[in-house]
C-alpha cells in the first residue's frame, strides 16, 4: 500500500532545520546534535502529535502551512522538538556515539540473510511472575551473535520497565549468492545465580536477498514460546501431570 504519515515528513524537516540553526549559532547550550539524538528527538515529537496520513504527494500539497491550523501545528511541533531535545540530551543513550559519528545505514551491495527480530518472555516457574534482573544471551551455532546496531544488546539484561520481556535484532549474515535458503540454529541461554541455567534451542529459515532492512517491523518478529526459570532443585520436584 502506498501511504505515508505526513507528520513524519514535517517533523523530520523541522528537526533538521532546528539542529542546523543551533549549530550555525555555535550551539550555546552545548546540545549533542549527533544522529542518534536527532532520531530520538524526532521519535519524541512524533509520539506526541497526531498522525496525518496521505496517499500521494497531492495529499501533502493540501497541507497549508500558512493557515491558522498550520501555523499552530508548526508552533506546537517546534515547542515539542526543543523539549524533546533537552530530555534526550539529559538521558543520552549510552550505547550510541555522541561525537558526531554518522551511523546512518549504508547501502549494501551483496546479498544478505536478513534475520528478523527475536522476542520472548521469561517467567518464574514457581510463582509465574515475570523475571527481572537475569541475563539472556542469543547464540548462533554456539557463538554470541552481534546485533544490528548498538541500541540492541546481547547479552540482554531483563529490566523492570519491560518485566519478563527480552528482544534481539541480529546482524544480517552475508550470503554467497541471492536466493539461497538457509536454516539458522539459535540458542537462548539464561544465567542467574538464583535460578537453574536454561538453554532454549530454535531455528529460523531465511532466504538471501539484496537488501538492507533497517526499520523495526512487528510483522517480522519471531516470537518464542514463554520460558520458565526455576530455583535450584525445584524443577525436579514438579509434577506436570497434575
Calpha distance 121→224 (Å, rounded): 8
**pTM score of the predicted model:** 0.61
pLDDT higher than threshold 60 for residue 90: yes
Domain regions of the chain by residue span: 4-90, 112-237
If you average pLDDT over every residue of the chain, what do you get? 82
Q: How far apart are CA 169 and CA 150, in angstroms?
A: 10
Four-CA torsion 87, 88, 89, 93, nearest 10 degrees: 140
Q: 112-237: what fold?
A: Immunoglobulin-like (2.60.40)
- Ranges 94-108, 136-150, 159-173: which has the least confidence: 94-108
pLDDT in tens, 50-75: 888 776 544 444 555 555 666 788 89
> Is residue 43's pLDDT more than 60?
yes
- Does residue 115 contact residue 184 with C-beta atoms inside 8 Å? yes
- Tell me, what's the pLDDT at 219? 47
Distance CA 134, CA 123 (A): 11
Kindly report the CA angle at 65 between 62 and 69, in degrees rounded to 5?
A: 95
Look at strands 117-124 and 165-168 and give their pairing: antiparallel
* Rounded Cα–Cα distance for residues 46 and 52 (Å): 11
pLDDT, average across residues 178-206: 94
Q: Cell numbers at residue 112, please?
A: 544478505
Amino acid at each position: 500500500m502506498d501511504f505515508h504519515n505526513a507528520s513524519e515528513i514535517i517533523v523530520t524537516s523541522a528537526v533538521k532545520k532546528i539542529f542546523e540553526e543551533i549549530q550555525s549559532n555555535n550551539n550555546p547550550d552545548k546540545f549533542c546534535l549527533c544522529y542518534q539524538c536527532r532520531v530520538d528527538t524526532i521519535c519524541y515529537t512524533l509520539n506526541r502529535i497526531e498522525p496525518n496520513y496521505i496517499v500521494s504527494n497531492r495529499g501533502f500539497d493540501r497541507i497549508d502551512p500558512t493557515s491558522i491550523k498550520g501555523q499552530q501545528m508548526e508552533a506546537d511541533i517546534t515547542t515539542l522538538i526543543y523539549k524533546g531535545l533537552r530530555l534526550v540530551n539529559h538521558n543520552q543513550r549510552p550505547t550510541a556515539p555522541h561525537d558526531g559519528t554518522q551511523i546512518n545505514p549504508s547501502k549494501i551491495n551483496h546479498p544478505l540473510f536478513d534475520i528478523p527480530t527475536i522476542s520472548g518472555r521469561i517467567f518464574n516457574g514457581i510463582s509465574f511472575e515475570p523475571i527481572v534482573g537475569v541475563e539472556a544471551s542469543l547464540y548462533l551455532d554456539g557463538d554470541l551473535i552481534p546485533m544490528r546496531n548498538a541500541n540492541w544488546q546481547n547479552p540482554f539484561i531483563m529490566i523492570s520497565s519491560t518485566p519478563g520481556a527480552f528482544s534481539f535484532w541480529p546482524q544480517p549474515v552475508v550470503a554467497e549468492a541471492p536466493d539461497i535458503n538457509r536454516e539458522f540454529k539459535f540458542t537462548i541461554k539464561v544465567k542467574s545465580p538464583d535460578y537453574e541455567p536454561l538453554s532454549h534451542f530454535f531455528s529460523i529459515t531465511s532466504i538471501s536477498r539484496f537488501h538492507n532492512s533497517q526499520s523495526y517491523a512487528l510483522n517480522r518478529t519471531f516470537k518464542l514460546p514463554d520460558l520458565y526459570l526455576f530455583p535450584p532443585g525445584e524443577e525436579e520436584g514438579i509434577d506436570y501431570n497434575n
